Amino acid sequence: MVIALAVPSLAWAQALADPTRPPPAILAAQAKGAAPGPTGVPATEEDNTPRVQMLSIGKSQKYAVISGRVVRVGGMIDGAKLVEVRPNAVILQSPEGTRETINLYPGIEIRAAKSRDAAQAKESTGKAKGREGASGNASKKENR
């Protein structure tokens, strides 16, 4: 009886995929000997674009990790100077003076959310204050 109950659960457990297994693109790249790029797709030799991997904005210093190297504001990376660190991007300036913005999340537009909930909350708070004031006055009269 115990064996009959254990066999179906073993078959089910074997069907689960390993969540820590790298994606197929990375495994294929490793099999070919190519190093995968940051998106899991093998990096090409013509892909020289710096990639922003992390940003740190502190009270006394700002820095970014770009293509695996820590660069502080004013520091150099691949001949370009890091002139600004923003919450979602960095700005690099080439020796010729041209500026390039490199986003932390390329292809993703980050916008502030429109808050209709805030307007509704403000409206309901105003109504609640009006009710509290009326009931508050009534309770003061009762206490006298």
Question: Do 56 and 46 form a contact (C-beta atoms < 8 A)?
Answer: no
Note the pLDDT of residue 96.
95
- pLDDT band at residue 107 under the 50/70/90 scheme: confident
CA–CA gap between residue 140 and residue 127 (Å, rounded)? 20
Q: Where are the alpha helices (DSSP H) in the chain?
A: 2-14, 24-32, 116-143
User: 3-class DSSP state for residue 58?
Assistant: coil
Comparing 68 with 16, the larger pLDDT belongs to 68
Q: Tell me which residue has tokens 């074997």.
A: 14
For residue 81, which amino acid is it? K
Structural domains of the chain in order of their starting residue, each with its CATH number: 49-110 (2.30.30.830)
Q: What does pTM read for this prediction?
A: 0.48
pLDDT digits (tens, 9 = 90+) for 23-67: 777 777 777 765 555 554 445 544 577 889 899 999 888 999 998
